[in-house]
Amino acid sequence: MRPLALRRIFRAKRAFTTSLPTSSSSSSSSPSSSPSSSSSSPTSSSPSSSSSASPSPEVARLLDQFQSTSFVRRRVLDATQLQRLSLMLGRPTIDDQDILTSPPAVGTPIPPGHHLVYFASDGLERDLGPDGTDTTFNAPFPFTRRMWASGSLGWSAESVKVGDEVEEHTRLVSATHKQSQSAGEMILVEVEKSIRGPRSSHISDNRTWVFRPAMDASSARRHDFAPSRELSRPPSKMADSSAQPGTFPIRELSWSPLALFRFSALTFNAHKIHYDERWSQQVEGHPGLVVHGPLNMISILDYWSDIHGGGTKPGILAYRAMSPLYAGETYTIRTTGMLDGIYKILVERDGVLCMKSEVWGDIRKTNKGMRTRRSGPKRPQMQF
């Protein structure tokens, strides 16, 4: 990736990952898991370190185990997996191809963020934690509650495409013990993923997880298990409002439990907070099933592509989860500003900020000004 692009990524990471998450009744970030690395092919890597001069025992254990190891996995980007993700998202076309009945053609560019369905962990069930998460980079006990906190993505000018054979290189960047008066004790774990394909195609995927201690029994059980709520939940929905003069369209979304289950299956993600409501309520203290942090991130990228992309792809995304979203809740994605090709995009629910992000337009166009559509996406209405 070009030096300018890398500088922009580092700038984005500083803006979105330096401050601590704020606390809430259940959690502060979008508690979510994603396909994280498994020990497929460990190789030597440059040492990582904690920002603390004398790391906690939990941080020291993580660093001792992973600081000089890089995991490499190889994948062929098959069309069917991409088709299934698009259908789960309610998007019946990819690159102007109708994919309702057949997958996209070989050579179709992978839409931004959709690479997540190809790099799920490969471990056996016995390798998962009690909450269903891949434990490769999990903080040790007692920090058992994992939340998706923030991250950044960067894309080369050339896209990875259906049919490409690519490599994912994953390494631990840092593990840091934090103590906050508002958020309590936590461990922040930053992981760097580098996805390398033919034609110099490349995706940089940095993500940070927050690990907190388990909730005490009295707090964790304050949400009564209510399976009957499942019967009244409507299906997923997604619609764009008409843009007012001087504004951009606002996207309204709601994900059903079925959609969350399908996303978990596509990403081979067994984190129970996304599909086991009893666990989510009684063990982790949430009022319902949690919408995946990566699903919110993909939704932001799809929104940008539809409203602002004009057939291009973004150069960089930086994002930070602020508050959880739950199955059946209606929320919005909207653009609050654009300057020099940088778009500020927020995810909100009833005035509560759930995820904030900045999207840099195509690097080749950023300094020249991007054309932005204010009349809505040029594609079929999203369907579920």
Domain membership of residue 153 (yes or no) is yes
- pLDDT at residue 29 tops 80: no
Task: Report, as an integer, the average pLDDT of 189-216.
Answer: 94
Q: What is the pLDDT of residues 117-159, one digit of tens each?
A: 999 888 899 999 999 999 999 998 889 889 899 999 999 999 9
Domain contains 373 = no
Q: Count the Cβ atoms, other than its own, within 10 Å of residue 72.
A: 16
3-class DSSP state of 9: helix
Q: Burial level of 265, CB count in 10 A (0-12/13-18/19+)?
A: middle
**Which structural domain range is residue 21 located in?**
3-368
The answer, yes or no, to whether residue 217 has pLDDT greater than 80, is: no
For residue 218, the model assigns a pLDDT of: 56
Q: Output the pLDDT for position 122.
A: 84
Q: Is 305 helix (H, G, I), strand (E, B) or coil?
A: helix
Give kind and range of the element (H or E) at residue 59: helix 57-66
Helical (H) or strand (E) element with 14: helix 3-17
> How far is residue 192's CA from residue 208's CA, in Å, rounded to a whole number?
9
CATH number at residue 16: 3.10.129.10
Higher pLDDT among residues 148 and 196, named by residue:
196
Amino acid, res. 311: G
Q: What is the pLDDT of residue 246?
A: 84
Paired tokens of 305: 């592509």
Structure-model confidence comparison of residues 54 and 108, the more confident one: 108
3-state secondary structure of 82: helix
Residue 375 has pLDDT above 50, yes or no: no
State pLDDT tens for residues 84-117: 999 999 999 999 999 999 999 999 999 999 999 9
Closest C-alpha among 336, 337, 252 to residue 299? 252
In a domain? residue 192: yes
Model confidence over 236-274: pLDDT tens digits?
A: 999 999 878 888 999 999 999 999 999 999 999 999 999
- If one counts the domains in the chain, the total is 1
pLDDT value for 2 = 52
**374 lies in a domain?**
no
Among candidates 166, 279, 276, 270, which has minimal Cα distance to 221?
279
- Under the banding of pLDDT at 50, 70 and 90, the label for residue 48 is very low
pLDDT at residue 340 in the model: 92
Residue that has been written with the tokens 């016995």 in this structure? 126
- Stretch 305-315: mean pLDDT: 95
Q: What is the SS3 assignment for 39-58?
A: CCCEEECCCCCCCCCCCCHH
Domain contains 378: no
Residue 384 lies in a domain: no
**Do 340 and 366 form a contact (C-beta atoms < 8 A)?**
yes
* Mean pLDDT, all residues of the chain: 83
Query: Is the pLDDT assigned to residue 18 strictly greater than 70?
Result: no
Q: Is residue 376 part of a domain?
A: no
Q: Which of 321, 378, 318 is nearest to 343 (CA)?
A: 318
Q: Considering the domain boundaries, does residue 375 fall inside one?
A: no
Structure confidence at residue 46 (pLDDT):
44
Residue 379 pLDDT exceeds 80: no
Share of the chain above pLDDT 70, in %: 76
Mean per-residue pLDDT, 59-67: 86
Average pLDDT over residues 309-335: 96
Assign residue 62 a region (left: φ > 0; alpha: ψ between -120 and 50; beta: otherwise). alpha
